Chain A
Amino acid sequence: MSELAASRAQSFKAPTLLSAKRAALWIATAAVMAVLPLLFKQSFAISLLSQMGIQVIFALSYNMLLGQTGLLSFGHAVYYGLGAYVCAHALNAVAANTFGVPVTLLPLIGGVTGLAFGIVFGFVSTKRSGTPFAMISLGIAEMVAACALMFPGFFGGEGGIPTNRMVGEKILGVSYGPQIQVYYLIAAWCLVCMIAMFALTQTPLGRMANAVRDNPERAKFVGYNPTHVRFLMLCLASFFAGIAGGLATINYEIVTAENVGVAVSGNVLIMAFVGGIGSFYGPIIGAILISFLQSALSAYTQAWLLYFGLFFVVMILFAPGGIASLITLHGPTWKARLMGRLIPSYARAAVALVILLAGLVMLVEMVYHLKAGGGEGAGFSILGLLLEPEKSSAWLMGLGVFALGAVLTAWSTRAVRRTWQAIAAELQMREAS
């Protein structure tokens, strides 16, 4: 019985210890969010950070469905977009003095809107799971997108609903005029939502969502109705999506039909997937990275959608578990203090990948340059390198760099694999001894 006593003791010590660690982690997160705009002061950076905060909430809410409950939704933007629309109307009503709510709490209206639509649409869609659920979610998304054009009174037609966040009374001098104030509003809501969504994973419902994801049949035979679990998770996910939508209204001061569109639903799927749906923090990484790529790449190149698509395909092919899974993969090596061994082969692989990427970028940019028919005969330059797409030498150079990169990548990834095998063997030996 002493073993049982020991295992009991372990199970009751564990949660308190972990939550102290977690509290520290949340405080650190809050500190980082507070400090970031002091480090990146350009207005471009503050806007990007605001965007990231909104997308973090949105992606995490999406993962409550995909990662935690196993529900692949193609229509999560419905709750985000409708939350945003209702918030825009609420803001305009505040401006017209027909409604009173402080802007700080406006996202809550978005959340309640998301929740309400989650209850309605969820009631229909969660009766099914798997592919039928995905198809129903797509149908609902198309339906709402169609409504956006059919009811211009609410959705504002093609122009959308413009609004103004500087309404209502100032509280402690906060008018939400300057973007930095909006950033801190978003950051605060983001932190609260992250903690709430994390806490949700630690509840009976959160655990049963995992159970239903893994095996709905078995969930029934331990007393749970999988449909109810899915429905509740969808309602709660819609609530958080609505909050993200409300913040988007405040941030952009306009809501258009795009916000409820399938493109936004696809984008949140990509964010969650690239970050990694298997862990809680995966979608946070995905939302930050994808938001960054979208605004940074689109500022530099017309071909950004192509790069973006390529990046997604490569991620799905080589890291189907997302970035979070790559981090998790290194956990045992890190603990065994063997990371040092990986560095040389990783460095070589990184150089090879940069060369491969450079070749690819040269070729893609030349194609786009020719197609766009930019400056007659003149070339263009990337990082100081002049490229003249009308000369065959430029193409030969591009192809050459690309080929070199491909060969080096093939060679260096083999070295990475060998190092991994050696480490795996060593870890096994250590475990045995």
Chain B
Amino acid sequence: MTSALELRAVHKSFGKTAIINGVDLSITKGERHAIIGPNGAGKSTLFNLISGRFPLTAGEIHLHGRNVTGMAPQEINRRGLGRSFQITNIFPRMTVYENLRCAVLWSLGYRYAFWKRVNALSDACEKADEMVHRLGLSKRRERLAGVLSYAEQRALEIGVTIAGGADVILLDEPTAGMSHTETEQAVQLIHSVTQGKTLIMVEHDMSVVFGLADRISVLVYGKVLACDAPTAIRANPAVQEAYLGAMEH
């Protein structure tokens, strides 16, 4: 069986500074995978490489067994990869509903059509509405995304990421800056909307990581230090030294 996402000897340098130093990673279909590591380890850079936002310096990335190295972000997205951002990245001057409808248009094949009425596209409207409901934003449906609360914007960000039906989902610190209760709700949301999909997330909150992930990769100085099940990661002395131990202080 081919993996959902495979990274082969991925390198990335900015000028002379090497940020990613040869990452090999294979993520199986349906897996929930967390990437942890200290600040500056290159977690967000790795996401930017996978999603096509930055070009690779060397190496290859395969999505569903197909080489997507060097493709533009929209091309990778069309092949089934959705991503969220660490800093909320939505359409602020559009309503919650419009945000989600825009997120489903391409996947339903409407492309750049300027001869179809968007309100008459029942499948797009239905999908957007369903997503509004699943995100728990029904009461905010007609609000502009830019005026939502932070937690609501984060939920919408996840919604926009997955609404198009992507089956490989990259979430970059989905619970950063949230209160305890907000985090719990976010975890529930992530759990429910990624059912049957492949999830890769960068996360700092260890309770979230250990609660959600099937496997964890520890990224240190642009290299995968360890990649294993949560219990094994917790018990790994190298990881403890490099990362978890440091967190206790």
A-side residues, CB < 8 A to B, are: 3-4, 7-8, 11-12, 14-15, 18, 199-200, 202-208, 210-211, 213-215, 217-225, 228-229, 232, 236
A81: min CB distance to chain B, Å? 25
A332: min CB distance to chain B, Å? 14
Number of contact residues on B: which range applies? 35 or more
Identify which of B89, B93, B161, B164 contacts A217 (C-beta below 8 A). Answer: B89
Cβ–Cβ < 8 Å partners of A207 in chain B: 94, 98, 101-102, 105, 118
Binary interface encoding of chain B residues 88-108 relative to chain A, with 1 for a CB under 8 A from any of its CBs, else 0: 011111100110011101110
CA distance A200 to B97 in the complex (A): 19
Q: Are A199 and B117 in contact (CB under 8 A)?
A: yes
A70: min CB distance to chain B, Å? 10
Which residue of chain A lies nearest to B89 when distances are taken between CB atoms in the complex? A218
**Known contacts A207-B101, A207-B102, A225-B74; A214 and B91 CB within 8 A of each other:** yes
Cβ–Cβ < 8 Å partners of A232 in chain B: 112, 114
Q: Are B73 and A220 in contact (CB under 8 A)?
A: yes
Cβ–Cβ < 8 Å partners of A202 in chain B: 117-119
Q: Are A214 and B93 in contact (CB under 8 A)?
A: yes
Identify which of A15, A221, A222 contacts B119 (C-beta below 8 A). Answer: A15
Which residue of chain A lies nearest to B130 when distances are taken between CB atoms in the complex? A4
| A-side interface mostly | helix
Identify which of B83, B112, B121, B126 contacts A8 (C-beta below 8 A). Answer: B126
Which residue of chain A lies nearest to B125 when distances are taken between CB atoms in the complex? A11
| B-side interface mostly | helix
Which residue of chain B lies nearest to A228 when distances are taken between CB atoms in the complex? B112
B79: min CB distance to chain A, Å? 10
Which residue of chain A lies nearest to B84 when distances are taken between CB atoms in the complex? A221
A391: min CB distance to chain B, Å? 55
Other contacts beyond A199-B117, A221-B161, A223-B77: 13, CB < 8 A: A4-B130, A7-B133, A8-B126, A202-B118, A202-B119, A204-B111, A206-B118, A208-B112, A214-B91, A218-B160, A222-B105, A224-B105, A232-B112
A129: min CB distance to chain B, Å? 15
CA distance A208 to B161 in the complex (A): 16
Q: Are A222 and B126 in contact (CB under 8 A)?
A: no
Cβ–Cβ < 8 Å partners of A211 in chain B: 91, 94, 102
Q: Are A4 and B133 in contact (CB under 8 A)?
A: yes
Cβ–Cβ < 8 Å partners of A215 in chain B: 89-92
B91: min CB distance to chain A, Å? 4
Q: Are A3 and B138 in contact (CB under 8 A)?
A: yes
B197: interface (CB < 8 Å) = no
CA distance A224 to B118 in the complex (A): 16
